[in-house]
């Protein structure tokens, strides 16, 4: 039932037969293969990929304890508001305006209609807030947080995607599920299942941050260790982008053998040293880029695929900040909307970055920096130093 995940050997055959090559990227029959050469990793600069401006936005903590943020699991910009899924303290959705003022929290913990034990994922589409929640439901709210209705679902949900074209939900159930993805309608019926368990694939349980990426005409699906992004097309998932790691690719058969032979700690140590390279869906997709991470056994690498000209860069994890030179940081992982993306730091962390920056400069240089290109960074850092809430560093992808 459903599609089987394409085996590593098949992906390799497809990659080898690809034509129309351009650098590390080739395409055949609409399937893009990216040949990943780990020796080609370079330093990346923010202005290589983003417009030369950083906007700092403090998500303010006020006297209302509901405004306190634990961990940002997901961040969505929609119309005049920012919707934040807090998986730690809030256990729900916090809503801020575009100036960072806290507006409200949507938190219906409990048992019964419209209530949940835990939230798994968040999506906002067509003026509706959708929460994927445990136990087994999708809860709908309007943009003001008023309960609309709920849909009971018969599968475990870890992440999900609401497709506005088909009006269906696509729910990822985790590595141990009989099928990775289920297509579900608004009645909660499973219409179809996809990616049935494959005995040749290493499925170690992972807390995948992002399994579904938006695409211009729909969405992608992937998960850690698969090395493939699939698109949903004509009622089926089809390979769209394949990452070919060659001799550096993860040996799935060996990983499965070692996992059975070793206890948990021993296997984790072995895995860290011998896992090889694979794809890690942790980043964003918009009209310009797919930016994500690669897992390479301890080495942190960023993959940046240009959708328009179909080229690919591999860059070191900390991208050089040549915009305001505050500090180098890991690439943005939150897709706000359109061309805007964000990375988040807690207030004290940003303040400590400012203190560290000052210690490297003379008083005269610091004054010039504080009044010049570092003005927004320094103001945000000092304003946020007393709060544990987050400061968003918002960038726009290049035109």
Query: Using CA atoms, how far apart are residues 346 and 63, in angstroms rounded to an integer?
Result: 18
- Which range (26-35, 178-187, 222-231, 370-379) has the least confidence? 222-231
Q: What is the pLDDT of residue 11?
A: 40
Q: Which residues pair with 301 in a beta bridge?
A: 294, 316
**Please, are residues 250 and 244 in contact by the beta-carbon 8 Å criterion?**
no
Q: By three-state DSSP, how is residue 123 classified?
A: strand
Q: Which domains does the chain have, with CATH numbers?
A: 1-35+153-307 (no CATH), 69-140 (2.40.10.360)
Residue 21 has pLDDT above 90, yes or no: no
In tens, the pLDDT along 171-211 reads: 999 888 889 999 999 999 999 999 887 777 887 766 677 88
Query: Using CA atoms, how far apart are residues 378 and 361, in angstroms rounded to an integer?
Result: 14
- Report how far apart, in Å, the C-alpha atoms of 113 and of each of 132, 136, 148, 152, 204 are: 14, 12, 10, 10, 34
Measure the CA angle with vertex 91, ends 89 and 97; round to 5°: 85
Order across the sheet with 340-346: list the strands: 55-58, 390-396, 340-346, 334-337
Q: Is the pTM of this model over 0.75?
A: yes
Q: What is the mean pLDDT of the chain?
A: 89
Burial pattern 50-73, b for ≥16 Cβ within 10 A else e, equals: beeebebbbbbbeeeebbbbeebb
Residue 378 has pLDDT above 70, yes or no: yes
Torsional class of 188: left (φ above 0), alpha (ψ -120 to 50), beta (otherwise): left
In tens, the pLDDT along 233-246 reads: 878 899 999 999 99
Exposed, middle or buried by CB within 10 Å (0-12, 13-18, 19+), for 371? exposed
Query: Averaged over 118-134, what is the pLDDT?
Result: 95
Residue 12 has pLDDT above 70, yes or no: no
Q: Which of 164, 216, 167 is nearest to 189 (CA)?
A: 167
Q: What is the pLDDT of residue 108?
A: 87
**Please, are residues 116 and 133 in contact by the beta-carbon 8 Å criterion?**
yes
Helix axes 375-383, 347-359, angle to 10 degrees: 130
């Amino acid at each position: 039932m459903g599609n089987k995940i394409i085996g590593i050997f098949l992906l390799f055959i497809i990659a080898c037969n690809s034509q129309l090559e351009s650098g590390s990227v080739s395409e055949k029959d609409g399937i893009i293969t990216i040949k990943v050469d780990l020796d080609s990793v370079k330093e990346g600069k923010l202005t290589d990929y983003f417009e030369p401006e950083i906007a700092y936005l403090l998500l303010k903590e006020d006297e209302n304890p509901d405004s306190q943020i634990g961990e940002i699991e997901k961040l969505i910009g929609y119309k005049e508001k920012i919707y934040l899924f807090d998986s730690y303290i809030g256990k729900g959705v916090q809503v801020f305006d575009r100036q960072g003022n806290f507006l409200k929290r949507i938190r219906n913990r409990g048992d019964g209609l419209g209530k949940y034990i835990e939230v798994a994922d968040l999506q906002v589409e067509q003026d509706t807030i959708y929460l994927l929640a445990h136990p087994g439901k999708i809860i709908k709210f309007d943009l003001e947080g008023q309960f609309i209705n709920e849909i009971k679902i018969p599968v475990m949900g870890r992440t999900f995607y609401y497709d506005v074209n088909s009006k269906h939900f696509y729910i990822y159930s985790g590595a141990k599920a009989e099928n990775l993805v289920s297509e579900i309608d608004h009645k909660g019926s499973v219409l179809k299942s996809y990616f049935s368990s494959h005995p040749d694939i290493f499925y170690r349980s992972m807390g995948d941050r992002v399994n579904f990426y938006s695409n211009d005409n729909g969405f992608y699906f992937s998960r850690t260790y698969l090395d493939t992004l699939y698109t949903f097309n004509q009622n089926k998932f089809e390979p769209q982008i394949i990452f070919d790691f060659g001799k550096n690719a993860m040996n799935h058969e060996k990983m499965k053998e070692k996992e059975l032979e070793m206890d948990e700690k021993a296997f984790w140590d072995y895995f860290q040293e011998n896992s090889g390279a694979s794809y890690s869906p942790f980043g964003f997709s918009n009209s310009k880029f797919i930016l994500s991470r690669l897992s390479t056994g301890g080495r942190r690498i960023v993959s940046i695929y240009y959708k328009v000209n179909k080229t690919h860069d591999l860059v070191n994890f900390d991208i050089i900040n040549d915009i305001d030179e505050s500090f180098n940081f890991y690439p943005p992982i939150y897709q706000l909307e359109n061309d805007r993306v964000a990375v988040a730091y807690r207030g004290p962390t940003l303040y400590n970055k400012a203190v560290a920056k000052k210690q490297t400069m003379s008083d005269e240089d610091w004054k010039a920096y504080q009044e010049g290109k570092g003005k927004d960074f320094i103001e945000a850092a000092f304003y946020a130093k007393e709060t544990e809430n987050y400061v968003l560093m918002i960038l726009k992808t290049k035109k």
